[in-house]
Chains A and B, each alone.
Chain A
């Protein structure tokens, strides 16, 4: 009986938290127009902090994933004499799946955790309360630019991840293993569909950008204003955002590519 009651309590807690985060998102969206009109510079600064500073990990990871993918795919395809198909296989894997998903996971770890920690610490050091007492809404002034920057950055980072990954596969496949360069690029061009593959990948990365940044800013804003509270909120962001990316990827893939 106690277990049932605890389970119900836990479930109600989750539902209440989801409800609060939804109201929080609506509050942010309502303040977006004012943000763009009055503080465009703040959005640019956050684009640098959230997007540009995530570039290094995206570039290095994209290159590694592309090189490994190129090597593994070559080893499999060569058994069937189909190594010329390396280009489209690698590109499809990256553009449809690995680009948005791995970039989303890296984005949650790098930018998501930083956002939660920053907002949580602003709360713990009374900066948000100070803003409130100066009649400035912290949701519009602090949270909204960070959410917008996350939503803009994520698809760009995913695109860069895919592009660098393809270049990595090209380097291994064509440069080191001798796959024909013409076949690599022409087959890729012929097999990849702009709408079905590229656009769906972009839609995925936008959805991941919204969800990861939303979780990150909410966790920061809702954190207990202590050292331990901010630490827990940061951990929750990485775990919840990563699991959300994986779960949403399955859902979106089922909706987009189910024939």
Chain B
């Protein structure tokens, strides 16, 4: 066991996923997935598009239930929680959606203040101070009066991040935070994820398929493919991983265990009339 693996093993788990099985209709998404998210770490779940990375976040957040297996968050079995129990847990978990999911009818300020107004009885003056501090943390205090339609994609994600941390959660889940962003915004988001995790003592789960960005801010990586975990380890170890699945993904090879072609009948059959469309 390497030094990194040993120190990781000593950390307590915040999220434990064991033998997770899940699918839509007849299509299997997860077929026996095991994932351990350690407290205080930034863990990235990577994998090709369509492997169910976002679905994994929804399972951790209790938005959907697994067909079998365990999803334990902070010692609580998420699929077995009552609605109230689930809401209690969610107050301590933040999810940053890919789109930001800001309320389009509310200003930046009101979006960030929303969870405080819903879950606390704090006076408006104190809410103002908290909101401005959170906006300052993401560099958008000056944008507090703007409406979501007036924000760029990167700014919208940063506002959503301020909203996510406004209740001081124990864990934040990021769904594809770098997708579709310019290099400067990617850099800002990377810095924020790492900085917030370390300064606020959070645990972070990042869903991404951006290998370089995710590797540079993560303590641990998981690679999902074909419904299973095909590789895991510290970012440096993953770069030299022997698994052909991991190698294809980390090097961005177009063909390999994840085929270039979607399954189909032989092309000769298709072109020369053996199969009718």
Contact = CB atoms under 8 A, between A and B. Distances in A.
Contacts of B90: 132-135
A68 interface: no
Contacts of B88: 135
Interface in A124-166: 125-127, 129-130, 132-137, 141
B256 to A, nearest CB: 32
Contacts of A122: 104
Given A125-B99, A125-B101, A125-B104, A133 B118 contact: no
A126 B101 contact: yes
Interface residues of B, number: 21
B101 A132 contact: no
A127 B103 contact: yes
Contact of A129 (B87, B101, B102): B101
Contact of B99 (A126, A132, A135, A141): A126
Contacts of B115: 134, 136
Interface string B97-131: 11101111000000000110011000000000000
Contacts of A133: 61, 63, 90, 93-95
A135 B97 contact: no
B103 to A, nearest CB: 6
Interface string B62-106: 010000000000000000000000011011011101110111100
Interface string A98-139: 000000000000000000000000100111011011111100
Interface string A226-256: 0000000000000000000000000000000
B63 A132 contact: yes
A125 B102 CA distance: 9
For B94, B95, B101, B103, the residue with the greatest tally of chain A CB atoms inside 10 Å of its CB is: B101
B188 to A, nearest CB: 21
A152 B94 CA distance: 36
A39 B87 CA distance: 19
B97 A129 contact: yes
Interface of B: 61, 63, 87-88, 90-91, 93-95, 97-99, 101-104, 114-115, 118-119, 163
Interface of A: 122, 125-127, 129-130, 132-137, 141
14 contacts: A125-B99, A126-B99, A127-B102, A130-B95, A130-B102, A132-B90, A133-B63, A133-B93, A133-B95, A134-B91, A135-B87, A135-B88, A135-B90, A136-B115
Q: What are the 10 A-B residue pairs with the smallest beta carbon separation, nearest first?
A: A130-B101, A135-B87, A126-B101, A135-B90, A133-B95, A135-B91, A126-B97, A134-B115, A136-B118, A127-B101
